[in-house]
C-alpha cells in the first residue's frame, strides 16, 4: 500500500444540499442587473445545460467544464457574476475538520495522498479552497475531471490519479469516496481497494444501481488510518 486517493465533494467536504438554480441566479443577477426576468431565464438555462452535462457524465462518463456549460446555455463568461457564484458556494466547500488529522496520520506512515474528483470547476477553484482550509500542502497530487476526457467511474480517471501520485500498480492504491457507483465500483474495476463514506444524500437522478461491495465502510475519515493499518498487518 503506497497511496490513498480521496474524492472531494461528500468526502473531503461534508455533503451539503445545494440549490443550483439559486447558485446560478447569483451569477445571472450580475449579468443582467436591471432585468430580473432575464436573469431568471438565464439562470434556468444554465441549470438545464449543467444537468444535461451531468447526465452525459453519468451515462457515458464524459467530463465537462463550467465554460462548456455556459456555452451550451448561450451565457457569456462574466467575472463579477462568476465571483458571486463562487461566493454562493463558499459555505458548502468547507473541508471536513477530520481531513487534517487523517492526512497527517497517513503522511506519517509514508503514504502518498491524492484527490480525484468529478467536477466541472477549474483546478484553481478547488486548490484555493483546500489552501483556504489549510490542507492543500498535505496532498501530493490533485486530479480534477475538468482537466480530463472522462469522469469517474471511467478507468481512465482512476489511472490518471494513479499516475499523478506516482503509483503504477492499482493494488497499491486505496480510494475513499461517498458514491457506490462513481467511487467504489470505479476504483474496484481498476484493481484498487475502495473505502465507502456513507453519509451523502445523493439525489435520485444522480444514483446508478450497482452491485458492488466496498472493502471497508467508515463513519469518519479519522477511522481510515486504523483500517489501512489492519490491511497492512494482514498483507
Q: 145-179 pLDDT, tens per residue? A: 999 999 999 999 999 999 999 999 999 999 999 99
Burial of 61 by CB count in 10 Å (0-12 exposed, 13-18 middle, 19+ buried)?
Answer: buried
Show the cell assigned to 53.
452535462
Per-residue CA distances from 160 to 3, 90, 111, 154, 204 (Å): 13, 28, 18, 10, 28
pLDDT of residue 205: 78
Spans in the chain with pLDDT lower than 70 = 235
Note if the bond before 153 is cis, omega within 30 degrees: yes
pLDDT of residue 233: 76
pLDDT of residue 6: 98
CB 50 within 8 A of CB 58: no
Amino acid at each position: 500500500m503506497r497511496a490513498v486517493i480521496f474524492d472531494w465533494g461528500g468526502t473531503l467536504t461534508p455533503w451539503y444540499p445545494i440549490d443550483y438554480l439559486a447558485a446560478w441566479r447569483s451569477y445571472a443577477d450580475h449579468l443582467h442587473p436591471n432585468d430580473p426576468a432575464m436573469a431568471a431565464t438565464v439562470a434556468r438555462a444554465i441549470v438545464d445545460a449543467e444537468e444535461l452535462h451531468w447526465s452525459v457524465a453519468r451515462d457515458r462518463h464524459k467530463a465537462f467544464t463550467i465554460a462548456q456549460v455556459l456555452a451550451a446555455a448561450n451565457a457569456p463568461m462574466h467575472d463579477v457574476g462568476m465571483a458571486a457564484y463562487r461566493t454562493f458556494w463558499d459555505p458548502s466547500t468547507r473541508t471536513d475538520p477530520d481531513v487534517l488529522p487523517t492526512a497527517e496520520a497517513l503522511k506519517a506512515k509514508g503514504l502518498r495522498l491524492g484527490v480525484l474528483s468529478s467536477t466541472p470547476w477549474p483546478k484553481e477553484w478547488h486548490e484555493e479552497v483546500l489552501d483556504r482550509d489549510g490542507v492543500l500542502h498535505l496532498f501530493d497530487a490533485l486530479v480534477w475531471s475538468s482537466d480530463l476526457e472522462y469522469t469517474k467511474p471511467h478507468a481512465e480517471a482512476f489511472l490518471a490519479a494513479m499516475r499523478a501520485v506516482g503509483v503504477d500498480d492499482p493494488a497499491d492504491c486505496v480510494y475513499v469516496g461517498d458514491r457506490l457507483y462513481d467511487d467504489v465500483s470505479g476504483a474496484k474495476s481498476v484493481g484498487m481497494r475502495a473505502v465507502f463514506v456513507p453519509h451523502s444524500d445523493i439525489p435520485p437522478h444522480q444514483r446508478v444501481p450497482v452491485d458492488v461491495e466496498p472493502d471497508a465502510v467508515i463513519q469518519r475519515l479519522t477511522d481510515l488510518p486504523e483500517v489501512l493499518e489492519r490491511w497492512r498487518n494482514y498483507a
